[in-house]
Amino acid sequence: MNKVIGLTGGIASGKSTVVDFLRSQGYLIIDADQVVRELQAPGGLLYQAIMQEFGGTYFDEKGLLNRRKLGDLVFSNDEARAKLAHLQNHIIRQEIYDRRKALLSKDKSGKALFMDIPLLIEQGYDGFDEIWLVAVPEEVQIERIMTRDKMTEAEAKARIRAQMPLSEKKKYATRIIDSSGKISETNEKIRELLKTIEIEKRN
């Protein structure tokens, strides 16, 4: 039977690096961000809901959602962030669980299924055998955001403050992956965790 593992983290915590490695090892992944992008594409359920709630100003001349512009709004406006979260929650949750059910019914490998959900804890997702948290010190998050997204330190801190602190998320985690080092070091930590769950499964 497949173990279902919830994978989460914070902005610039290195979760994408962890997901890339898990994929390279042949593990099944449900990527909530990818699900959201599909639902936000023209004609998708979220596309229609966001257009109706926030208006055309958050879409470009080609009719595509301007994720950066919408992100700037929700990270600076608590009311808008709550409104978007409420709007998206049911649609995304239903789609993610539907995909989990479909994958588990088809897969016969017995390997763990990872559900990569940034707001796993905040939105109260459940149904996991374990929760893995990718975490780094806040100063590493700030540096990564500034470099990756070409933001000021104040903008980076605003992004972090808009999320549940990683220190708080640690209380909910079964296992914690510190990805503040080199990618090769993070990959080795994941390799060890994968060996651990395989041993536990056999026992």
Is 105 annotated to bind a ligand? Reply is no
Sheet of strand 130-135: strand arrangement: 28-31, 113-116, 4-8, 130-135, 175-178
β-strand 4-8 against 130-135: which pairing, if any? parallel
Phi, psi values for residue 8, rounded to 5°: -145, 175
Q: HSE (CB half, 13 Å, CA atoms) of 145?
A: 22
Which residue is it, tokens 């055309």?
56
Is 179 annotated to bind a ligand? Reply is no
Q: Which of 181, 172, 177, 199 is nearest to 190 (CA)?
A: 177
Is 71 annotated to bind a ligand? Reply is no
Is 15 annotated to bind a ligand? Reply is yes
Is 16 annotated to bind a ligand? Reply is yes
CA–CA gap between residue 18 and residue 185 (Å, rounded): 11
CA–CA gap between residue 203 and residue 201 (Å, rounded): 5
Distance of CA 157 to the CA centre of its chain: 19
The binding site comprises: 12-17
The binding site for ATP comprises: 12-17
